[in-house]
Amino acid sequence: MNDLKYVGKPSPRIEGKEKLTGATRFVDDLDFGPGLLYAAIVESSYAHALIKNIDTSRAEDVPGVVKIVTGKDFPYRFGLYMHDRYVFAQDRVRFIGEQVGAVIARDPVTAKKAAALVEVEYEELEPLLSVYDAIGEKPKGIIHPDLKNYFHVPWFFPRADTNIAHLRKIRQGDMEKGFEEADFIFEDEFIVPRYAHCAIEPHGAVGFLDHSGRLTVWTASQSPYTQRHLFTQALEPLGFSHKDIRVISPAVGGGFGGKAGVSMEILAAALATVVKGSPVKVLWSREQEFYNTYQRQGVHAKLKVGVKNDGTLTALEEILYWDAGAYVEYGANVVNAAGLSATGPYRIPNLKIDSVCIYTNLPPGGPYRGFGYSEFIFGLESHFNEIAKKLNIDPVEFRRKNAIREGDTLAYGGKMNPNGLLEAIDKVAEAIKWDKEIKSDDPNIVMGKGISLMWKAPAMPPNAASSAFLKFNEDGSVNILVSAKEIGQGFLTVMAQIAAEVLSVPPDRIRVEEPDTDRNPYEWQTVASHITWGCGNAVKRAAEDAREQIFDLMERALGKKRDALYLEDAMVKSHDETDFKLPLKDFVIDGIMMEDGTWRGGPIIGRGMFMPEFSSALSDPETGQGGKPNVHYTVGAAAIRIEIDKQTGRIKVPKVALAVDAGKAINPAMVKGQVIGGIIQGLGTILYEDMRFDEKGKLLNPNFTDYKIPTSMDIPDEIIPIIVEVPQPDGPYGARGIGEHTMIPVAPMVANAIEDALGIRIKSMPITAEKVALSLST
Amino acid sequence: MPPAAKNLFEKRFLDLQKLLFKEIKMYEITFTLNGEKRIVGVQSNETLLDVLRYKLGITSPKSGCERGDCGTCTVKLNSQIVKSCLILAVEVNGQEVLTIEGLMKEGFTPLQEAFLEHNSFQCGYCTPGMVITAEALLETNPNPTDEEIKEGLSGNLCRCTGYIPIIEAIKDHVKKRGAEQ
Amino acid sequence: MAIVQEFKYFKPKSIKEAVSLLSQHKNSAVLAGGTDLVCNLKDEIVSPKAVVDIKGISSLNGITFKGKRLKIGALVTFSDLIKSEIIKGHFPLIGEMARAVASVAIRNRATVVGNICSAVPCMDSAPVLSVYDAEINLIGPEGERRIPISQWFKGNRKTSIKKLEMVTSITIILPAQTHAGCFVKLGRYAGEDLAQANLAVLVFSNHQYRLAFGSVAAVPIRAKRIEKALNGNPLEKKLIKTAQELIPQEISPITDIRASKEYRMHMCKIMFERAVKAAAERLEGAGPGYGTALI
């Protein structure tokens, strides 16, 4: 691996110039001509209500209105892992802001005006706004009375006639014995609220059904193929098959999971079907972005941990109550993924975990960077830190002692992959000089340090696949077609580097093309931090396929000895013949001319596909054992120093270090970019972002004015990104994903540092300046 | 104004026309956009952002929040950066507007080179506004301190980069520019 | 984003023309920077039939300082205040406040007059203008008049302005006694925020004090009780404590999604202490430079 030429280098982004010059076109930048129609949504003003009547007559009279639709026009259920969701609400609404109908008009002002004139009559039901409203003997209502009839993937276990959409159980070892062996048992509860992705580009989609019956949908999406699949499923009653629907995803202005699956994009697809021949745009406002797209689910965590005197963990009992929102077609898998990994990267022999997915009358929960791990690790790492302190064990030592190792048994029975967790712990502790005592001269300022570990495995169906086509051009440059999505993570460049390494064509001579389901081959979704691994493998295979064709041709046409051939500097060379140097551009389209004037070869087109064949979601529903639902884990650690102003409660971060085991950092600059971005996003959740609902379930701060995401003034003084590389055996060049992971340890690490500084343990997020100041002054 | 009716039939037709046609007041504005004189008819309730994006095909300023919080709509109006989502298009009559395209009359700028080198962008959505803001910052304050850079950028939200690579690019650019002079 | 309301747009060239337009179109809004008005139009909080853009009236521009009298025209933006040599030299407290408002691109448009006309409780300019005993100059169909700031704010988004009037400028007489000041604003973080509490203090070399709080009541509060307790005394620990204990009598913060009333009350005490100390240090030519964040 030492003689890699392109992999492992901080190559500049291949799409950099486009983005820096404003040339990149996002969905709302595309021009659809003067025939473009605009949709405005009629939204529910109740969190839980029956729809008695919808009167669209006044709206229909507004000149410029083309069509008005409501739930009765689209009585279809759909969803990713569970079919519990509707294009428009049917007989009832389940959260404030839910789409009840839409007005399609010739211009946005008319659409907006007319939408305000649609009159909906509701019969209010009691809203269930907390998990405790929804579970137990007497829940305040049943949000999905039809739950037992919903299709779902075989690894979900809904409880009919309750608000429990899924329950992931883990039972391993012997809990009684585990607690008996413990010298201490520590119990506690932690609360993590909902969070918003706040990608700077709002959701948007344009649908166009032409008169031949072809439906094209342009979506700002991380998942064009999955979108096509869900659109086809949802609109199947209208006679669509997969080939009739085309999904194109132009540039996406940030996803963070919020643009995965299908949320508002179904509206563009559905509305297009009622205005045949005209494209219709559905563009979300920033407010809608907050209350009617996926949110990161809230969770109430109860932990009971057995530990020996010397700090060895003996048993973990964990209950996670997830506030999953009105529809859980995607969010239920967050609950599932968390349940399977709720031990964190630790070796714990006896486990009892219940991860419960609970319907509430709040916006639908769904995928958000970390996919349940950020949510549960807050409680876990806070609790472990408390335990360490109570046992008088240094928090870093506690982590080292209990850290999971290669080959250890995972919560679901599988085995832990090779990983550099101990190295990560050592490096972050070193980076912030953990053992050094640092105090401030200012009597108002108190300093603290905190550590947290992290891990995550891609949460995917066992057959999530990636594929790639690779084609050469006349001048030897390359186009790679994939359906993974550049959402800012830099994967286009990484794919180019992988192909470059195999084919010896430099990355700046390679283009990687944005998804179009007609032209680019299948990719499950750009989520789960799995693209570098999955799509990277597919691209590598496509490049190798192309290389094999090249070598075939050398053998056939020129009689070269295959074993001696290699590629270098975009030329075919031979170890046997030092002056054989055939430039790729000479034959990758044209082929090779023989002496008699006939040609051999032709355009070189590589094809690669990667689907893990060792992953299985089948497990015992009562114990969670037996499957192999997770392909591998990426691990890491982070450590932070903070300064707290005791009077104001304000926290500053002089230094934070985060180490992530990337297996092989194909582009170290991209990895560092994810570390910095992930840390800042994590700091946002622990220090500033504070979603507020009123007692009726209305989101009170659906804007940046009152939902504060970090600005350039709120950054740490110093961030130290550390790349650990313990190769992933089945990853391209040893790589595994890291995109989500860099956010995961941040919240608990800060909570631990606050406890270190002030001796106060705050068990709910966010830990705002107000919370700190008031807990100090009382 | 429709001409006066010549007979009863015409009068009835013109009356019907009055029912069907609503007068919309259009304001013709003349302004300089990226160095070029532009004349365009706008309604009073159209924002500068909307007119740039949907009437004039300049899609680099974006609509991220429509409240002046996110900075993706940032353009230069005369010599200062402004949030174009909070400006009515009529207000720029007789003024000069500059978007990122106008910055690049001579190609990729040295600051943009620095952004490329330092990976000061990821998804690219906040980038046009960020570049305009950074260029304007350096115009008014050619040698900013770290604090001044942070303050200068504070009206532009970025969810991807964590800002540090942007600040480093600006600092590096200032250093290189200083060395050249 | 589409603005649904339709309105006529006018750009008068003189104050006379502007006043005439306001009278003609009874339901009209004055447009200067627009950072408030355009937002309100989008949210459908206001529905004027006409918008009168005063940016073409050159006499409304400018910061002048003649005979100890500072005049800030209706078109003066927060950026103008930050750059002004007059403000830097004679009214650094105003510059400190201006720097705390929003961010650069907003400051380039938003005007101080617009700020006080909006009269939203979280205004940043009000406490500063209050401690300077500023006067607001208006003109209407009945002629000119002047209102002291103490009588300007009537409630949440309510001022003493009469229906067809517009503000032309704000004037402040530079206090004769040597003084220094401090403005502190409470936000949820270091980045741009609307104040959850703010205050302005002036400390005079003859042990006189002026103090005003903002965003902790429907209108800004000039803390006369506290001033009375402080006046005549040199600043020291006990005096500060006495003043802090009077704060709950002066202000009535509420709990909303931005902050609880307990935190606002707590922070006003902290902010007051740090601000008055900083002002006293600045009076001696020491202390943190104007614009340094104190909380």
Q: What is the CATH number of the domain that holds B46?
A: 3.10.20.30
Q: What is the pLDDT of residue B17?
A: 58
Buried b (16+ CB within 10 A) or exposed e, A191-228: ebbbbbbbbbbbbbbbbbbeeeeebbbbbbbbbbbbbb
Q: Around Cβ A346, how many Cβ atoms within 10 Å?
A: 20
Residue-level pLDDT at B24: 78
The pLDDT of A6-13, averaged and rounded, is 96
Confidence band of A633 (pLDDT split at 50, 70, 90): very high
Best CA proximity match to C272, nearest among C233, C227, C219, C208:
C227
Alpha-carbon span C56 to A313, nearest angstrom: 74
- CATH code for residues C179-283: 3.30.390.50
The last residue of a domain, from among B67, B99, B131:
B99
Neighbours of chain C (3+ CB pairs under 8 A): A, B
Write the Ramachandran bin of A132: left for phi over 0, alpha for psi from -120 to 50, otherwise beta.
alpha
Residue B80, token pair as written in the block: 């200062």
Question: Amino acid letter at A724?
Answer: V
B15 falls in which pLDDT band (50, 70, 90)?
Answer: low
Sign of CA dihedral C238, C244, C245, C246: positive
Taking only the tens place, the pLDDT of each residue in A411-455 is: 999 999 999 999 999 999 999 999 999 999 999 999 999 999 999
What subunits touch chain A, counting only 3 or more CB pairs under 8 A? B, C
From C4, C8, C35, residue closest to B68, measured CB to CB:
C35
Distance from CA of A218 to the nearest CA of C (A): 20
**pLDDT digits over A180-239, tens only?**
999 999 999 999 999 999 999 999 999 999 999 999 999 999 999 999 999 999 999 999
B155 has a chain C CB within 8 A of its CB? yes
If asked whether residues B114 and B176 sit together in one domain, one would say: yes
Answer for the pair B152, C104: CB distance below 8 angstroms, yes or no.
Answer: yes
Yes or no: say if A373 and A455 are a contact pair by the CB < 8 Å rule.
yes
Percent of chain A exceeding pLDDT 90 equals 99
Helix, strand, or coil here: A429?
Answer: helix
Structural contact between residues A526 and A488, judged by C-beta atoms closer than 8 angstroms: no
Is B7 contained in some domain?
no
How close, in Å, is residue B68 to chain A by CA atoms?
Answer: 9
Q: Which of A164, A194, A182, A166 is nearest to A340 (CA)?
A: A166
The number of angstroms, rounded, from the C-alpha of A65 to the middle of its chain's C-alpha atoms is: 38
Closest CA to A296 of A221, A378, A384: A378
Same-domain check for residues B47 and B85: yes
Checking DSSP bridges between strand A466-472 and strand A478-482, what pairing results, if any?
antiparallel
Whether residue C118 lies within 8 A of chain B, CB to CB, comes out as no
Residue in C closest to A644 by C-alpha: C295
What is the predicted pLDDT for the residue at A778? 72
* Contact in structure between A348 and A316 (CB atoms under 8 Å): yes
Name all domains of chain A by residue range, CATH numbers in brackets.
16-23+464-610 (3.30.365.10), 34-125+203-283 (3.90.1170.50), 298-460+617-777 (3.30.365.10)
Which 8-state DSSP code applies to residue B54? I
Q: How far is C105 from chain A (nearest CA, A)?
A: 15
pLDDT band for position A777 (50/70/90)? confident
Q: CA–CA separation, A555 vs A562, rounded Å?
A: 6
Chain C residues 171-200 with a CB less than 8 Å from chain A: 188-194
Across the range C179-201, mean pLDDT stands at: 97
Q: Are A209 and A277 in contact (CB under 8 A)?
A: yes
- What are the residue boundaries of the structural domains of chain C, listed by start? 8-56, 58-173, 179-283
Residue B13 confidence (pLDDT) above 80: no
- pLDDT at residue B21, as a whole number: 62
Which of residues B57, B77, B99 is at a domain's end? B99
Peptide bond into A507 cis (omega under 30): no
Strands (E), B9-94: 27-33, 36-42, 74-77, 80-83
Whether residue A16 and residue B116 make contact (CB cut-off 8 A), yes or no, is yes
Q: Is any Cβ of chain B less than 8 angstroms from the Cβ of A254?
A: yes
C-alpha to C-alpha distances, B149 to A771, B168, C66, C295, nearest whole angstrom: 30, 10, 35, 20
In chain A, pLDDT over 70 holds for what percent of residues?
Answer: 100
pLDDT of A146 strictly over 70: yes
**Pair B121, B93 in one domain:** no
Measured CA to CA, the distance from residue A398 to residue A434 in angstroms comes to 14
Are A658 and A742 a contacting pair, CB within 8 Å?
yes
Residue A710 confidence (pLDDT):
98
Model pLDDT, residue C26: 84
Q: What is the mean pLDDT of chain A?
A: 97
The pLDDT value given to residue C188: 97
Q: Do B44 and C8 touch (CB under 8 A)?
A: yes
CA atoms of A223 and A264, how far apart (whole Å)? 13
Instruction: Give the chain B residue nearest C292 (alpha carbons).
Output: B147
Q: Sorting pLDDT into bands at 50, 70 and 90, what band is A1?
A: very low
Do the domain assignments include residue B1? no
Q: How far is CA A202 from CA A224, A484, A711, B125, in A?
A: 17, 20, 18, 10
> Is the pLDDT reported for residue A156 higher than 50?
yes
Chain C positions touching A112 (Cβ under 8 A) are 2, 4
Residues of A in contact with B126 (CB under 8 A): 200, 253
Q: Which residues in chain B have Cβ-Cβ distances shorter than 8 Å to A28?
A: 53, 59, 62-63
Q: Which residues of A touch B162 (CB under 8 A)?
A: 676-681, 710, 715, 719
Q: What is the b/e burial string over C43-71, where b = at least 16 CB atoms within 10 angstroms of the residue's CB?
A: eeeeebebbbbbbbbeebeebebeeeebb
Same domain as B116, residue B68: no
- The three state secondary structure string of A365-406 is ECCCCCCCHHHHHHHHHHHHHHHHHHCCCCHHHHHHHHECCC
Per-residue pLDDT at B1 exceeds 60: no
List the single best residue of B112, B159, B170 to mutate versus A (max A Cβ within 10 A).
B159
Percent of chain C with pLDDT over 90: 99
Q: If residue A582 lies in a helix (H) or strand (E), which one and from where to where? A: strand A581-583
Which chain C residues have a beta carbon less than 8 Å from that of A768? 188
Question: Which residues from A are below 8 Å from C258, CB to CB?
Answer: 706
Distance CA A362, CA A693 (A): 9
- B132, closest residue in chain C (CA to CA): C105
Distance CA A295, CA A197 (A): 7
What's the ipTM? 0.96
Question: What is the C-alpha to C-alpha distance for residues A419 and A421, in angstroms, rounded to an integer?
Answer: 6
Contact A449, A756 (CB under 8 A): yes
* B21 belongs to a structural domain: no
Tell me the torsion sign for CA atoms A384, A386, A389, A391. Answer: negative
Cα end-to-end distance, chain C, whole Å: 37
Chain C positions in Cβ-Cβ contact with residue A688 (cut-off 8 Å): 188-189
Residue pLDDT, tens place only, B127-157: 999 999 999 999 999 999 999 999 999 999 9
Q: Which CATH class is domain C8-56?
A: alpha beta
Facing residues of A650 across strands? none
Q: Which residues pair with A634 in a beta bridge?
A: A456
- C179-283 matches C58-173 in CATH topology: no
Q: Does B114 share its domain with B80? A: no
Residue C115 in 3-state DSSP?
A: helix
| Rounded Cα gap, residues A369 and A708, in angstroms | 18
Interface of A with C in 689-718 (CB under 8 A): 690, 692, 700-701, 705-706, 708, 710-714
In B, which residues are within 8 Å of C1 by CB distance?
Answer: 47, 50, 63, 66, 85
* Distance between CA atoms of residues B156 and A307, nearest Å: 48
Is the separation of the CB atoms in A330 and A400 below 8 Å? Answer: no
CA distance A363 to A344: 28
CA distance B122 to B108: 18
Burial zone of C95 (CB within 10 Å; 0-12 exposed, 13-18 middle, 19+ buried): buried
CB C124 within 8 A of CB C115: yes
Same domain, B38 and B63: yes
pLDDT digit string, tens, across residues A273-313: 999 999 999 999 999 999 999 999 999 999 999 999 999 99
The three-state secondary structure class of A299 is: strand
For the stretch A256-267, pLDDT in tens is 999 999 999 999
CB A16 within 8 A of CB A508: no
Three-state secondary structure call for residue A680: helix
Separation between Cα atoms, residue A249 and residue A205, nearest integer Å: 9
The structure tokens 């299908």 sit at A262
CA distance A553 to C103: 62
Q: Are residues B70 and B120 in the same domain?
A: no
**Domain boundary, last residue among B72, B99, B126:** B99
The alpha carbon of residue A339 is apart from the nearest alpha carbon of chain C, in Å, by: 33
Q: How far apart are CA A411 and CA A623, in angstroms?
A: 10
Rounded average pLDDT over C198-223: 97
C48: closest CA among C30, C75, C21? Answer: C30
| The CATH number, out of the four listed (3.30.70.360, 3.40.50.720, 3.30.465.10, 3.40.50.1100), of the domain defined by the range C58-173 | 3.30.465.10
> Tokens representing A487?
């959402």
- Give the other-Cβ count within 10 Å of A451's Cβ: 29
Domain of B64, in residue numbers: 27-99
DSSP SS3 for C25: coil
Asked if residue B127 belongs to a domain, the reply is: yes
**For residue B129, what is the domain's CATH number?**
1.10.150.120
DSSP code for B53:
I
Supply A29's token pair: 């930048």
pTM of the model: 0.96
Contacts of C51 in chain B (CB under 8 A): 44, 88
Name the residue among B44, B77, B133 with its Cβ closest to that of C9: B44
